[in-house]
Each structure stands twice: as C-alpha cells, then as structure tokens.
Chain A
Amino acid sequence: MALLELNKVKKIYQQGKIEVPALRGIDLTVEQGEFTTIFGPSGSGKTTLLNMIGCLDTPTEGEIRLNDKKVSDLSRKELAMTRRYNIGFVFQSYNLIPVLTAYENVEFAIRLTDHTSESQMKEKVLKMLAEVGLKGLESRRPNELSGGEKQRVAIARALVKEPKLVLADEPTANLDSETAAGVVDIMRKMNKELNTTFIFSTHDPMVMKYANRFINLKDGMISADERRG
C-alpha cells in the first residue's frame, strides 16, 4: 500500500473569467520512506501540488489517496487530524507566531499532538532546536532571528512531532549552504531512522544530492520522474 496516490489530479484557478490551470493531470504514487524532490520553473505548480498533498487545498478534478483514504471523503475534522498527526509543513514564508519564542513556536506543534510528560516534551523540543543549530537561541522571538534562523525554527516545528510525511516548500531557500546541509542531514537522518517520507520542492542542487527520487514539474504536468538508489 502506497502512502500517497494521486490520480489525474487537476487544479484550475479561476481568475475572474480566465481559467488558470496550475496542475493539469498529475499521476503520482509515493511510498512510505521516500525522499522526494519536486523541481521545476517558477509557476510550474510545485506549491500547488504540495498544498494538495497536504490536504490544505482540494483538486478541481481527480483523486488523492493518503493512507489509502480518499482525501475528498474526509470531514473537516478528519482533515485537521490528518494534518495534525501525519503531516509536517514547512512553508516558503515561515509563518512563525511573532509573540512566541523559538522554543514556544516549536512547542506549539508538539502540544497539539504529543500527550507525554512535560519533561519529555521539553526535551524533544530542545533536542530538535539543537539539531537545526539553534541551541542558545531558544528564547528569542522571531523578530530577533535572521531569515535562515526563522526558517530553521519552521523546520524544527514541522519535524518535532515526527510526522509520517513532511512537506517542505523550498526549505533551504534562505539558508547558506552549510546550514542547509545541516538541515538536510537531519531530515535524511529522520528519513533513515523513522522512515519518514519527505517531499520537497526545491531548486537547490545540494538538497537534490540527498534525494532518492526526482520529479520534474513543467506547466502543471510531470515531465520526468526518476528514482535513484
């Protein structure tokens, strides 16, 4: 059973009277534990596709199955619960909560899912922040962090709950190559140890180096899909 299945998924945006096709028939199967990158020119539909997979957006046509369940059959509550327990998002814009510290922004995600003891939770959050290289910056607020640091908080927030599936939209776009490598390392480790599935959109060749699957998106269609052992 595949973790994720897309069947002739189309997304057409309505801009006034004009129809903008963002995705024009995507067929895709992703197995548990794959480390996949989606690349393609700007406007090719990467973000749209990730939103669709993450149950944030609904396709105009076609069907998405996650965990062998039709996403379109899920209620609002089930959708929320799927996102909460199974999916971690990293957005192009980090969307941190400005009144919360780095620590609290990460804690926020784990509070929603983890019902273990306070001390365990704290340990997890601190460990996660250390892994993305933010040790010592835990009590800073987003406005006291650089773009790259904010991005790493956002990554820590997505990873801390150890979801089955992590969707990341250009996660390394604001990081220098060294930090980017560090972050990808963590993801790679999670992928190995916990069999976490990763789907990235990226232009970064460094990230691509680690991936074992490459999907090329062009004009809302998959033009190439390669696996590498």
Chain B
Amino acid sequence: MFSFKLGLKNLTRQKRRNALTILVIAFAFFSYLLMDSLMNGMEEMSFENIKNYDTGNIQVTYPEYWEDREKLPLENLIYLNQDMEESIKDTDGLLGVSPELRFKANLNNGIDEVAVMGMGISIEQYNEVFATQNYVVEGSMFAPGESKAVIGVSLAELMDLKVNDYITLLVRTKEDTFNTIDVEIAGLIRAPNPMINNGIVFVPLDVAQQALNVGKGVSLLALKTVSGDEDTATKALTDSFKNKDMDLKAYSWKESAASVIALSVAKKGGIGAILSIVLLIGMLGIINNVILSALERTEEIGMMKALGMREWEIVFVFMVEATGIGILGGLAGCLIGYAGVSGLVKYGYGLGYIGGDGSAYGIPILDRMYGTWNYPAFGFLFVLGVIVALLSSILPAYWAAHKDPVKAIYHR
C-alpha cells in the first residue's frame, strides 16, 4: 500500500527529532522494565524472607489465636496431642515442623529496656524449618538443652549487647503476674529479613513455657514444605484436622503476613503508576512529533488534499509514521531494558542508596535487592507502547489533515 510506504519513508525525515522521540520512548520503557524487575524481585525476595525466616511455608494454629496473633496472646495455645501429630505426619511433602511460643517481653540490659517479641523455639526443629542459623555472625545458635538466647545484630547494637552478655526478659505470665527470663547471649544473627534482626529474642521453648507458665503450650507450628506445595499441603492439613474434629487450621504463608498483602498492593500500585507515566511520556512524545511534522508539511498535506486524498488517508500516513516510531522506541527500550534487567538480576541494587535496610519501609529485605526476569512485561509493554503510539497520533494527525487546503498550500 502506497500510504504505508509513504508513512515509512516519512520516518527518514527529521531523523534527529525522530531519533530523540525514539530515545525518550526507549528511556521510558527502560525505566519501566527496570522498576518492574526490581519490584517483582523485591516482592519475591520479601516473600522468600518471610517464608524462610518468619512464618515458614505453613502455620498451624487455632483460628482464635490466628485472629489475635499480632497481639501475641497466651490464650488459645496448642497443646500437642497424638491426633495432631498424626495429622501432620500423614501429610505429604512436609519437610519440618517447628513449634513456637511467641510472647511479648521487655528486654533489659541492666540500663535500658525495650519492647521485643520473645520467641520460644525448639532449636533442632527450628533449624529444620528456618535458615536463620546460617546467618549467625557472632557466637552460635544455642545448643539443645542450653538455656541461652540469640538476638539480631541490630537489637544488640541498640542495646549495646555482645555475645556472652546476660540479658533479662521481663514477661507477663498467663495469669498476668510478672516473671523474668535471665539468659546469656549465645549468638548474634544478621538474617536477610531485617525484621528478625531488629526485635526478636530467641530462647529455648521450655524456658519460655516455664517462665510464662503455659505448660506445654505453643502459639503455633511453623511448617516447611517444598516451595509451591504450600496450598495443597495447607488444604490437606485443614481437611485432616476437620475430619478428626479438631479446631486447628493450617494457614499458608501468603495469608499470614499483612505485609505480604501490603507489598503486593504497593507493587501493583507502583508498577501501575510508573506504567501510566511511561505511557504518558510516550504519548506526549508522539503527539509532539506528529504536530511538528504536520506543521512542517502543511503544504504537502494541502497538496495531498488537492490530489483528492481523504482526511483519514492522510491520518493513516501519520499513523504509520508514529507507529514506526513507537516500534523503534519500543524495541530500543526493550533492548536496553534487557541489559538493565540483566544487571539487576546479576548484581542487584544496594539499599544503601536509599538509606539503610528495607525494614524502615516495611520491606523485609536487608541490604540488596535483586531484579527478576519478567519476560511478559517486555511483550506487554511493547504491544501497549505501539498501540499508544498509534492512538496518540490520530488526534494531531486529524488536526493536520482537517486544515483548509487553500490555507495549507499557500501557508496563509
């Protein structure tokens, strides 16, 4: 088709301006792809960090506890019995079970006091579910039977504590009387999830149970599964509990952290906002380009009308040109985006640039975010970009084609 050919040939006019528009679109695409990669990477890492250092893949507890879990209550605790253990044992794909007793406490170093979350764990079982032990930076995790504590480096720094120092945890028992846990610090951890480093004190489960006077009660069981098996295992467990008339329920990690949801919402919102900006930039670039071209080619457009071209045929010529710019800009953007994302996936992005660890922003990532590959985003953005380029050319092109031919030809 001749108009098509003409549109393409017009692309070679005003090379510098077209190149600039292409560059602007490419840069906008590049920024989007980078942000998309980073945000997806952040989400993925956050989820990993939540799973691996906070919740496990699945948490089993009573619905009543679940509802109040943020308040760390000592009510509705689990007292393990044979039925429960069987249900868990009979579920396929479970790699570990860690009973936890979570409680409110005040950490005292002899001078200052700070509110923390106490975490009674059975160390061997805990290590089967969580990877925290790999991040002990000083000392070690406490050994089974040892009555010691492990805290995060940030908390240690805040409270001026070192390995082998003694700390006191002030707690309220189930009966609302005060009690203390006096332990020596066995190790300091610096886990990838900064939430762990900032406010948790790990102590042996039996020590916690005794101090809180809850017998053999635990808040919940954290379970590890192969990644991706959470949902089937969660359902199997819940069914199994129901069959045995137990009130216990299994919750996939996805349901457990409010931050998970907040993160996803933030991600979607963030990506959406950037996408709108990127498309707006592309749109303005194209509109600007078409208007300038149309102004330059006024006489030519008038001549086309004199030759008997219909307005939409003239619009079509501009649309081909604009779409061409969109395609070139999109391709260039995807290309440099590919390079940028490769870098992000490989080398990551230091959170130091935005001022310290992610916990300040509610992101459970310590110091370096990595991008992930989101290939559909490339295709999606490219197609969307081309469509936007095409659509945004219509109005200015129509404006140009609609001009009075006499005025156009004689430039009056």
**Residues of A in contact with B (beta carbons under 8 Å apart):** 47, 51, 54, 56-57, 76-77, 80-85, 87, 89, 91, 93, 95, 97-100, 107-109, 111-113, 157
Contacts and interface: CB of A to CB of B under 8 A. Distances in A.
Given A99-B9, A107-B2, A51 B406 contact: yes
B310 A77 contact: yes
Nearest to A47: B410
B302 A95 contact: yes
A95 B305 CA distance: 12
Contacts of A57: 405-406
Nearest to B13: A99
Contacts of A83: 305-308
A53 to B, nearest CB: 12
Contacts of A99: 6, 9-10, 12-13
Contacts of A112: 307-309
Interface in B379-412: 405-406, 409-410
Interface in B261-295: none
A213 B300 CA distance: 32
Nearest to A83: B308
Contacts of B305: 56, 80, 83
A81 B6 CA distance: 21
Given A56-B406, A111-B2, A98 B308 contact: no
A97 B310 contact: no
B6 A95 contact: no
Contact of A108 (B2, B302, B405): B2
B244 to A, nearest CB: 79
Contact of B299 (A87, A95, A111): A95
Nearest to A87: B308
B13 A98 contact: yes
Contact of B308 (A84, A91, A93, A107): A84
Closest 4 CB pairs of A and B: A84-B308, A95-B303, A83-B308, A99-B9
Interface of B: 2, 6, 9-10, 12-13, 299-300, 302-303, 305-311, 405-406, 409-410
A91 B303 contact: yes
Nearest to B412: A13
A22 to B, nearest CB: 11
Contact of B311 (A76, A93, A113): A76
A80 B13 contact: no
Given A51-B406, A56-B406, A95-B300, A89 B13 contact: no
21 contacts: A56-B306, A56-B406, A57-B406, A80-B308, A80-B311, A81-B308, A83-B305, A89-B306, A91-B303, A91-B306, A91-B409, A95-B299, A95-B300, A97-B300, A100-B6, A107-B2, A108-B2, A108-B6, A108-B307, A111-B2, A112-B308
Contacts of A157: 307
A95 B409 contact: yes
A54 B308 CA distance: 10
Given A95-B300, A95-B302, A99-B13, A109 B307 contact: yes
B411 to A, nearest CB: 9
A51 B310 CA distance: 18
Contacts of A47: 410
A85 B306 contact: no
A80 B304 CA distance: 10
Which of B6, B307, B310 gathers most chain A CB within 10 Å? Answer: B307
A81 B300 CA distance: 18
Contacts of A56: 305-306, 405-406, 409
A11 to B, nearest CB: 10
Contacts of B410: 47
Nearest to B411: A93
A85 B308 contact: yes
B306 A97 contact: no
Nearest to B402: A76
B320 to A, nearest CB: 13
A30 B300 CA distance: 29
Contacts of B306: 54, 56, 83, 89, 91
A212 B167 CA distance: 118
B409 to A, nearest CB: 6
Nearest to B405: A56
Given A54-B306, A109-B307, A113-B308, 18 more contacts: A47-B410, A56-B406, A56-B409, A77-B310, A80-B309, A80-B310, A83-B305, A84-B309, A87-B308, A89-B303, A89-B307, A95-B409, A99-B9, A99-B10, A99-B13, A108-B6, A108-B307, A112-B309
Contacts of B12: 99
Contacts of B308: 80-85, 87, 112-113
Nearest to A98: B13
A108 B5 CA distance: 10
A6 B310 CA distance: 26
